[in-house]
Chain A
């Protein structure tokens, strides 16, 4: 198949080859991808984008495999983007997440794509955002993104996913790991996998304690704005939260179900902490219930929209910055930069005047381009 044969129609019709090729074009930043992406734009915004993140060896791939199975059982079409690191030295990569998911390979309702980070830090590849938009427009109901094994600062996933599942496992370290800033703050749903191993109970307790403390301290977390939006909504119509948790069946049920109550603080709401044994499938249905309850709560509060707004604003900013960087990498720009550097070194102008001059020059160039 020639790249020029890739069209929005083919992607929309569920042609896996066309979607796959388009994602490759995105990966190498091929300008001819843009026409297709633009044509697909109108169809996007429907998929529930779920991020699966956590440290290496937490069982993210096995968990993703089981989530796909469960969601298929609920009649949903599912796409997976699995990211693994590229070697910083050779650029090569072994993308092995798929090994655990191959049973879905021949299911037409499942699309799985492995991406290498290709030098991008943050736990995803640069193509991930556009790839999600392709699979969303292609009509997959759920798009699951499995990040690389993260440490304490790879948090790109929060900019792409509607719902982030943070996966932990027993045996990773002492409880100080749980209170460090970084990845622990980004979960909407928390999952303790390999729950049949020693120490799982303790990990659950530590995560709950961390979440409770964050709420009590009024810390800004990913989940707090949703909880606030929800209580505002409750206050508006004066209704109390539903008494019985009933996942997903009504808005109230979904509301109530999304957050676990903190033991010792009956009115304190924290995100759910679900235990799973992905290998056997134990706890998977509950995890999917919580993921879907989170989506329902996002939708009911209007927070889905505001989260996507914030994410898109951030992404647009990054996109604009990328354009500026590309412009600065052109030969003419390099010459201008060298000129300015000389003037600064000769003490003719100062560093900040040089920056201003540069900004003026770039604005003028852009005007010239747009009016030409």
Chain B
């Protein structure tokens, strides 16, 4: 049976709305993926724990508030602590270009800023899954 891609879509930090994350969730769903949506104001600990319990292939996070340099690397750090090395972690939101290299070095495989076509995100996920279908 063909493997269904499971994605956790999460909003770490204190953002007030999640319209963008919902658009992404919907686009991934329409691309045939199963999207576990966790809602607003999640701590990195909650995100990692949910990712493990749901056995997802991808963790997709979005931040608008500017806390990405702290929260995104914290998630990859916690995953590493738990010995999880086969989940693809991607980020998105309002993120200055200057911050992207640092995030990539911290294990965020790709960063999608406002205006990124959802098709690019879907393609990136399909091409970069760490667990092979």
B113 at interface by CB-CB < 8 Å:
no
A87, B28: Cα distance in complex, Å: 12
- Among A23, A27, A102, find the residue whose CB has the most chain B CB atoms closer than 10 A: A102
A151, B125: Cα distance in complex, Å: 35
Q: Is A118 a contact partner of B4 (Cβ separation < 8 A)? A: yes
Q: Is A106 a contact partner of B52 (Cβ separation < 8 A)? A: no
Q: Is B46 a contact partner of A114 (Cβ separation < 8 A)? A: no
Q: Is A102 a contact partner of B39 (Cβ separation < 8 A)? A: yes
Interface residues on B, range: 20 to 34
Q: Taking CB as reference atom, which chain B residue is nearest A22?
A: B55
Interface residues on A, range: 20 to 34
B86 at interface by CB-CB < 8 Å:
yes
Main secondary structure of the interface of A (DSSP, over half): mixed
Main secondary structure of the interface of B (DSSP, over half): mixed
B100 at interface by CB-CB < 8 Å:
no
Q: Is B53 a contact partner of A91 (Cβ separation < 8 A)? A: no
- The B17-51 residues at the A interface (CB cut-off 8 A) are 25-26, 28-39, 42-43, 45-46, 49-50
User: Of the candidates A17, A92, A105, A111, which one forms a contact with B33 in the assembled complex, judged by CB atoms under 8 Å apart?
Assistant: A92
Q: Is B52 a contact partner of A92 (Cβ separation < 8 A)? A: no
Q: Taking CB as reference atom, which chain B residue is nearest A80?
A: B53
Q: Given A87-B30, A105-B38, A114-B36, 11 more contacts at CB 8 Å?
A: A17-B52, A17-B55, A20-B52, A20-B53, A28-B1, A86-B34, A87-B29, A92-B33, A94-B26, A95-B36, A102-B42
**Interface set of B (CB-CB < 8 Å, partner A):** 1, 3-4, 6, 25-26, 28-39, 42-43, 45-46, 49-50, 52-55, 82-84, 86
6 tightest Cβ-Cβ pairs between the two chains A and B: A20-B55, A92-B29, A99-B39, A105-B46, A105-B49, A90-B32
